[in-house]
Structures are given as C-alpha cells and as structure tokens.
C-alpha cells in the first residue's frame, strides 16, 4: 500500500516568498511492519551483504553503570512474538491470564537476562535503501553505488547507538551472506528494529524556524501576515503563529532522507565534516515515531482510513519499535565531498 501525505493546509511561499528558494525535497520512508528480503529497501531487515566480506563489529567499550544484565536479539524477538500472540487472544484481564504456562516459563527465563558482553560485538542492521526506491539518494563520488546500508552498535556511545554507513553496488553482490552474526546482547529493547518495508514518498520541506533569519522569524511570528490565507488558516495558532509553520509547513516528521535538519532539543549546531571542513548535509533521519501530537497533519491519508496495527506496548506511530533518547530522532549527516569521510550523528 502506498502512503500519501495530505497537501499542506496553505501555500507558505505565497505568504512568505523569501521561503521559496529555500525549498528542498525530502523522501519520507513510511516504514511499516513486513517481511523484507535482502533485495528490498527496509528498516530492520536483512542486508544485501557479500558472503566474503567481514561483518562489521564495534570495539566498545560496552559498559554502562546501572545495567547488569541484558537481552539478546533472539530473546527480544521471542518476547515480541509471545506478547503479540497474547494480545490477539480474547478475554482475560489482567493480560497475564492469557498466557500459556509455556509462554510464562519462557518469559521468566528471558527476563533473567544475559551477562554483559565482553569484547567486540557484531553490529545490527538498521536500514537498507536502494536508489531505485529513493532516487535522490546518491553517494558523492560513487555514481555506480546504488545501495546504502546503515548498521549500529546497540549500546549507547555515550547517549545513543553508534552508527556505521556502507555504500555498495547491488549488481556486484552475487553471493549473499545468509546468516550474519548478531550481538550477544542489546542494551535496550528499543535498539532492535522491527522488520519493516518502506513506501517512499517525496515531499517539499522548508528550513527549521530556528535556522531562519531574525527578520523572517519576526514575520512568521506576526499573525497579521498570515491573514491572506483566509479560511485555510488555523485560528488556534493566533498566539504563536510560528508554531503553525513548525508543525505543518516546514519539516516532515518521521523517517526520511534528505530535506532539512530538524532542531528543537538544541539550537542549530555546526555540521562541518571533520575531515575536510565541508558542510555535511542531511542523509537519513532515524525517527522514534512517524508523528506526534503536533504533527498529525502529516499523517498519510491511508492511515486515517486503514490504520496500521501497532505491536503491543508501542508508542503511537512507533512502527519500527525504535526509541531514540526517549522519543527523539537520530539524524545522520554526510559529507558531500566524499563517502569515505566520517558522518555526523545528531539527536534532536
């Protein structure tokens, strides 16, 4: 099923022409639970990884005061399968009464945890994007590469998972690694992505309010400047019209490639490549949720008529089951000069 962002409630460039030259195209990815293969664009799915290429590992350190035992990826998958089965059964409150004795025994065993891992650990697949699905996704200096693969270490370094990026050409992978290694443990359950397929969609974005000039910020904060929108104007924003711009007209929420950087946890920060000084550009946003209480206007039309069922215990619109820093997003920025230069990780 495709996903279609509703048209914006008004044309912001008609009211503020200075924004027109600042427009950028972003590709919303709209991950939804599915069964991806290595040949699909996905979140949390198997990667098109060459069988003769070593699987990446993180050297650590992997310690955090306050956590003594953790769960393995397979532990978490079994827990999710059990809880989905329990949620689908009728009757029984509290829900524990819906468990079978075998399921209760498995949960008790898993909850006992595993020892904290020592030494290097295998990275987890987070996303795989084919250029055929995201045409604007192009690696600098490597026009033949057509697949971006994103993996991470499922431990905080220091406040979120550490990511690794790999560009490759799909046609050169003839023998795919069918059983990649997995980390023996994961720091938090929300660092294991649920397998999702993607339905990419291009949208137009404008800069964060925090990146605009002071003059334009003042104009966006002047309610009288918005009156020309007529009946399309949402009067509930009269006391803070700049929030109308931030919520509905500037940056799309959720997983996306390209577009503009989202800010809010901090003011805008420099994003210069540490290798060459070139300004890094938004590559991929790894989002906790697809929308929240302020950004429902971006919800796809299809979700309004046929909402996607969520796994038990998930936040609203948390289709991937990932949670970054208690509800924030991890934005990856890449150097446009070279794919070999370090990328930048930004939590906002």
* pLDDT computed for residue 65 by the predictor: 63
**pLDDT confidence tier of residue 295, bands split at 50, 70 and 90:** very high
What's the pLDDT tens digit per position in 93-125? Answer: 777 788 999 999 999 999 888 888 889 999 999
What's the pLDDT tens digit per position in 299-343? Answer: 999 998 999 998 888 889 999 999 999 999 999 999 998 888 999
Across residues 185-211, what is the average pLDDT? 97
> Rounded to whole angstroms, how far apart are CA atoms 326 and 321?
12
> Rounded to whole angstroms, how far apart are CA atoms 159 and 347?
9
- Please report the sign of the dihedral spanned by the C-alpha atoms of residue 101, residue 74, residue 63, residue 328: negative
Buried b (16+ CB within 10 A) or exposed e, 305-338: eeebeeeeebeebbbbbbbbeeebbbbbbbbbbe
Across residues 36-60, what is the average pLDDT? 98
* pLDDT computed for residue 37 by the predictor: 98
What's the pLDDT tens digit per position in 162-186? Answer: 999 999 999 999 999 999 999 999 9
Does 277 have pLDDT greater than 90? yes
* pLDDT computed for residue 68 by the predictor: 61
Among candidates 14, 348, 29, 13, which has minimal Cα distance to 206? 13
Which residues face 257 on adjacent strands?
27, 284
Who's near 345: CB < 8 A, 6+ residues apart? 160, 162, 163, 330, 331, 332
Could you tell me the two tokens for 89? 């059964």
Look at phi and psi of residue 298 and say left if phi exceeds 0, alpha if psi is from -120 to 50, else beta. Answer: alpha
**pLDDT confidence tier of residue 67, bands split at 50, 70 and 90:** low
> Rounded to whole angstroms, how far apart are CA atoms 193 and 320?
5
Could you tell me the two tokens for 184? 């023996």
Q: Hey, how many other C-beta atoms are within 10 angstroms of the C-beta on 92? A: 11
* pLDDT computed for residue 172 by the predictor: 96
Buried b (16+ CB within 10 A) or exposed e, 151-190: bbbbbbeeebbbbebbbbeeeebeeebeebebbbbbbbbb
What is the distance of C-alpha 111 from the center of its chain?
Answer: 27
The percentage of the chain sitting over the pLDDT mark of 90, rounded to a whole number, equals 85
What's the pLDDT tens digit per position in 236-250? Answer: 999 999 999 999 999
Which single residue is written with the structure tokens 């490759």?
Answer: 168
What's the mean pLDDT when you consider all of the chain? 94
Which single residue is written with the structure tokens 């994003």?
Answer: 271
């Amino acid at each position: 099923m495709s996903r279609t962002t509703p048209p914006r409630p008004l044309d912001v460039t008609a009211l503020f022409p200075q924004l027109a030259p600042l427009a950028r195209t972003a590709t919303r990815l709209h991950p939804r639970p599915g069964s991806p293969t290595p040949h699909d664009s996905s979140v949390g799915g198997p990667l098109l990884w060459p069988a003769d290429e070593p699987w990446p590992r993180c050297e650590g350190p992997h310690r955090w005061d306050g956590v003594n035992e953790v769960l393995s990826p397979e532990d978490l998958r079994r827990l999710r399968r059990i809880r989905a089965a329990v949620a689908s059964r009728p009757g029984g409150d509290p829900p524990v009464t819906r468990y079978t004795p075998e399921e209760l025994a498995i949960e008790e065993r898993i909850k006992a945890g595993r020892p904290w891992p020592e030494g290097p650990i295998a990275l987890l697949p987070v996303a795989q994007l084919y250029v055929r699905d995201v045409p604007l996704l192009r690696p600098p200096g490597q026009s033949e590469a057509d697949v971006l693969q994103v993996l991470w270490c499922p431990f905080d370094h220091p406040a979120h998972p550490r990511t690794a990026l790999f560009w490759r050409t799909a046609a050169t992978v003839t023998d795919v690694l069918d059983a990649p290694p997995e980390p023996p443990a994961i720091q938090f359950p929300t660092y294991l992505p649920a397998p999702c397929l993607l339905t990419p969609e291009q949208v137009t974005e404008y800069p964060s309010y925090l990146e605009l000039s002071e003059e334009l910020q003042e104009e966006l904060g002047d309610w009288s400047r918005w009156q020309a929108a007529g009946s399309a104007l949402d009067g509930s924003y009269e006391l803070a019209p700049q929030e109308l711009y931030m919520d509905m007209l500037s940056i799309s929420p959720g997983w996306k490639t390209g577009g503009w950087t989202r800010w809010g946890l901090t003011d805008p920060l420099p994003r210069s490549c540490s290798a060459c000084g070139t300004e890094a550009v938004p590559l991929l946003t790894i989002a906790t949720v697809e929308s929240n209480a302020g950004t429902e206007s971006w919800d796809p039309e299809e979700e309004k008529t046929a909402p996607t069922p969520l796994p038990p215990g998930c936040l609203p619109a948390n289709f991937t089951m990932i949670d970054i820093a208690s509800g924030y997003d991890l934005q990856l920025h890449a150097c446009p000069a070279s794919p070999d230069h370090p990328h930048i990780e930004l939590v906002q």
